[in-house]
Chain A
Amino acid sequence: MEIEKQIQRLQDRLSYIRDIFGPKDNPNRQLLEARLGEFLARGNGLSLAEQVRQVTQLEDLFRFLEKKLDAELTPMDRVRIVRHPQRMCLKDILENVYDNYSEIGGQDEYSIDPSMLIARAYISRRVGKKVHNQPVMVIGQEKGHGQEFRNGGSVKPWGNDKALKYMRVAQTENIPIHAFIFTPGAYPVEDYPGAAQQIARNLYEMAGLTVPIVAVFSEGGSGGAEAIGLADYRLMLSHGYYSVISPEGAAAIEGKTRQGQRVAPELIEACARQLKMTAADNKAMGYVDQVIQEPPLGARPDDYEFFKLLRGELIRATNQVILSVRGLKFFRAMALSRKSKAAAAAVDPESVFVRWSIGSGPRELLAWRRWIKFRGLAQAAYLDRRTTAQKIFSIGQDLAWSLNSFFRYEFLGKHRKKLERFVEEMEAEARVVKDKVAAPVVKIGRRLGVGGNSQLAEAERDSLTKLSNPEAGTCLTDESWAYLSPRARTDRAVTCPNAATHGCLDLWAPDLFGDFAGVCSHCGHHFPMEYEWYLYNVFDQASIHEFNREIEAGNPLSYPGFDQKLAEAKEKTGLKSACMTFEARINGLNLVVALLAAPFRGGTVGAAEGEKFIRAVERAKKKHYPLLAYVHGTAGIRIQEGVNGVIQMPRCTMAVRNYIEAGGLYLVLYDTNSYAGPVASFLGCSPYQFAIRSANIGFAGPGVIKETTGIDIPPDYHLAHQALTRGHIQGIWDRREARKNIYQALLTMGGRNLYYR
């Protein structure tokens, strides 16, 4: 019987190889097929002893060739490994890595979201003479070996909400979080709490969590991965991938294919390679801290050696994070350091004990160190054309602003406030006295009928009929805008898209894009408008001062053909990246603005955009200015930058959190199509998000939704009004009132640390 099982297992291994390598010719696979086939053909005629001998030989051959095949794995093969139902999944890890666990809030399909699995788990071990039981919160996507209801690990918004809830619990209980990332991406539904908005919320909260977070990446699909992936230490499995988009998705965009059309497999292979999504690539770029070696052709549920290795690395990583913020640590830290590989290999992590609950001092330090870690990422992924002198100057300027703000708002501000309060009190006292004295006089005046209605005095009459404020001139209404859209210069009629339902008549382009600011005068439909319109018509005249223009979008992955496309975008728009950062004034109030301009590569966010955004946030924080993210449009993270782009999600969100926590006002204004990564991070986390009526807001565009969920969505699915109804944004503004509304928001919203408060 034993031999039958062995043969079956060999057959399984062969079919697994077929699955992974696909239909391409492969001599190694063909050899295995031939040998196994020969054996099966002759099998029954042989003696048992001979059979055993040959099976053992075959097993050796399999082992040998699997190793050989492993070395040949292309990035796309790895994607197939990760997606294979035989790949080990989170439940296998819970069984084999931890010593005890209880799943929380889910029993197979009975769960608010079976794709997201939460467990309270223990690692127990004997160190010296003592047995330690160390609890952790395990959070991760469960693919369930292809179980339908697990949805492939594609988590719905409420699944990510559940994850966030238990991260908070871990914080309350002061235990580390182990996050396991097994997701092709988040499930793109907009229903509350919203795919994008929930990821943003997770990122915002994780940025401030005061317990250690260790993440393990097996399948890191973009935004879905980030929802639980903002960690102090990021481990990656050697056969996993971590990417901004699936290779198929990238190929569909690259090949400009339409919905339902098939993409050539060669193109998908090429995209998988170009996106630099393997563990080795990500380690090299610094987006994961360490790679854990899997057995040849990837870890499967019975690879017990692998689980042992994983367990050791998890313990080591958790220990290391804690020691990095704790005082007494020297020897243990040395022992754990990965810098000297030989030494590290010699020390069994199981033998080093570190208490995993930490005191309040180090806890604060933890979040700070996390920020420093992410702040330093992706620094090589953008072009910085500033001269050395400029760079030094900018450091000096930063320092000067910090000092200036400290004196003005912290030091002097406090004293000034005290004085103001004193004056206020005195005035109030004086008023009471004055009223008492004046009261009888007023009464007498009334009795005498002063101001009666018999005859109107000449002067009074003049005040009703003569020109008031003659110096103000005649015409009080100046209807022209400071910036005129180029579309206002063509003599043609334009049809409003609502014409069929609202009966709008054609509009004349010069009126529509001129006087009407792109708003249909009949139904109020907002046509998209150039971002320049806002620059000139929202902010005070000539008050815009751009900074960090020298930071330019680059091609960090050397993505083929992308240099050319970038150069074209720069040429066409005159911008150096999709993000323009500047200081400006509205009615005299200073603010910092980060603008995402749709004409530059769809307003996508890459390393340069992220870096500029962060610097703008830091500037606003230092100068105690309010911060406006004006999203003219963004299609998401720039896929050609791969993880260099994705990593901007946690980075920028962390910067925003620091700013808001320090008492700033972070305002987001969506204008046209605003989708995906940026919305699911640094935009969606703002408590004050508004939309111009022209905005579409969402996690994924209609095409992507159709592709991933198979559901047809109505054309109005992403309209600003829907986003408002779902609770994703806080209000909708008419474009022509943008200036007034922003000013109003500056006055009425936001934190204690604004300079004008």
Chain B
Amino acid sequence: MLNVRELLQSIKDSPYELIEISAPHTGVVTFAVTEPGARVSGPSGSLLEKPGTQLAILERERNKKPLSAPQKGVIEAVRTELSGTFVEAGTPLLTIRHYLTADEVVDRILKKALYLFLAPERAKYYFVPEVDKKIKAGGSRSVRLTDGQELFIMSRMKREATLAYSGPEGQIYSVYFRVNENVDTGQPLIGVCPGEQLPLVQEVVAKVRSEWGEAR
């Protein structure tokens, strides 16, 4: 079975994640944060309605778009030499050193504990409308899966095909893909928690939460 303690220890040894912020599209970049070491925070508010610390502004076709920090952390590096220049889409702009939160640690460990349903092809994935509605209404954990159930719409090459779930019965515990983004072959789409494993998973969650200091 899963050795939670060992996994947790390995994460504790390197409790950081480096998040690279790159230009989502072309434009002239100006930095709002210029010094490495600056502390930034992610979206806040009880509904995460307030965006994170503004990092930079990307102006394209006279439309200034703020880039804000997706997570709490410390600025590791800023490419200030790009300030005021036109950058291509995907140009790395800054990196944030992010101390993992308990939730993220849980997520990492769960990826090992849950049954992962993988993307069979590089494509964009969507839930079929019935499931999508359910998730929007009650969260992903309200969806119970059975083997052979139609779950995804797979979109590639301008064609769409439905994709059935195969694997153990259970509830969708985590969703790993985002709408409108390509998922590579073999990447997990969802993590499914089989019914009998639910207590185990909950135990893991409780354990990590109690052992992971969130302070930083």
Indicate whether A495 reaches chain B with its CB closer than 8 angstroms: yes
CA distance A714 to B65 in the complex (A): 23
CA distance A491 to B61 in the complex (A): 8
Among B60, B61, B65, residue most surrounded by chain A Cβ atoms (within 10 Å): B61
Task: Tell me whether A715 and B65 are in contact (CB under 8 A).
Answer: no
Task: Tell me whether A495 and B65 are in contact (CB under 8 A).
Answer: yes
Closest to A501 in B: B179
**Interface membership of chain A positions 695-718, coded 1 if the CB is closer than 8 angstroms to chain B and 0 otherwise:** 000000000000000001011000
Indicate whether B104 reaches chain A with its CB closer than 8 angstroms: no
Q: Which residues of B contact A494 (CB under 8 A)?
A: 63
Q: Which residues of A contact B60 (CB under 8 A)?
A: 493, 506
The bracket for how many chain A residues form the interface is: 10 to 19
The bracket for how many chain B residues form the interface is: 10 to 19
CA distance A336 to B179 in the complex (A): 75
Task: Tell me whether A493 and B47 are in contact (CB under 8 A).
Answer: no
Binding site for A on B (CB under 8 A): 45-47, 49, 60-63, 65, 179-180
Closest to B51 in A: A500
Task: Tell me whether B46 and A712 are in contact (CB under 8 A).
Answer: yes
Tell me the smallest distance from the CB of B133 to a CB of chain A, in Å: 14
Q: Which residues of B contact A501 (CB under 8 A)?
A: 179
Task: Tell me whether B62 and A503 are in contact (CB under 8 A).
Answer: no
CA distance A722 to B58 in the complex (A): 34
Q: Which residues of A contact B62 (CB under 8 A)?
A: 490-493
Which 6 A-B residue pairings sit nearest by Cβ, starting from the closest?
A: A492-B62, A493-B61, A493-B63, A503-B180, A712-B46, A714-B47
Task: Tell me whether A715 and B47 are in contact (CB under 8 A).
Answer: yes
Q: Which residues of A contact B179 (CB under 8 A)?
A: 501, 503
Q: Which residues of A contact B47 (CB under 8 A)?
A: 712, 714-715
CA distance A495 to B45 in the complex (A): 23
CA distance A508 to B49 in the complex (A): 26
Tell me the smallest distance from the CB of A495 to a CB of chain B, in Å: 6
**Interface membership of chain A positions 490-515, coded 1 if the CB is closer than 8 angstroms to chain B and 0 otherwise:** 11111100000101001010000000
Tell me the smallest distance from the CB of A527 to a CB of chain B, in Å: 14
CA distance A494 to B61 in the complex (A): 9
CA distance A495 to B61 in the complex (A): 11
Q: Which residues of B contact A495 (CB under 8 A)?
A: 63, 65
Known contacts: A503-B179, A503-B180. The answer to whether A715 contacts B61 by CB under 8 A is no
Q: Which residues of B contact A492 (CB under 8 A)?
A: 61-63
Q: Which residues of A contact B61 (CB under 8 A)?
A: 491-493, 506, 508
CA distance A521 to B131 in the complex (A): 26
Closest to B63 in A: A493
Task: Tell me whether A712 and B45 are in contact (CB under 8 A).
Answer: yes
Known contacts: A503-B179, A503-B180. The answer to whether A714 contacts B63 by CB under 8 A is no
Q: Which residues of A contact B180 (CB under 8 A)?
A: 503
CA distance A523 to B60 in the complex (A): 21
CA distance A493 to B179 in the complex (A): 23
CA distance A508 to B61 in the complex (A): 9
**Interface membership of chain A positions 465-506, coded 1 if the CB is closer than 8 angstroms to chain B and 0 otherwise:** 000000000000000000000000011111100000101001
CA distance A714 to B49 in the complex (A): 8
Tell me the smallest distance from the CB of B144 to a CB of chain A, in Å: 25
Tell me the smallest distance from the CB of B136 to a CB of chain A, in Å: 11
Closest to B65 in A: A495
Q: Which residues of B contact A491 (CB under 8 A)?
A: 61-62
Closest to A492 in B: B62
Tell me the smallest distance from the CB of A470 to a CB of chain B, in Å: 40
Closest to A702 in B: B49
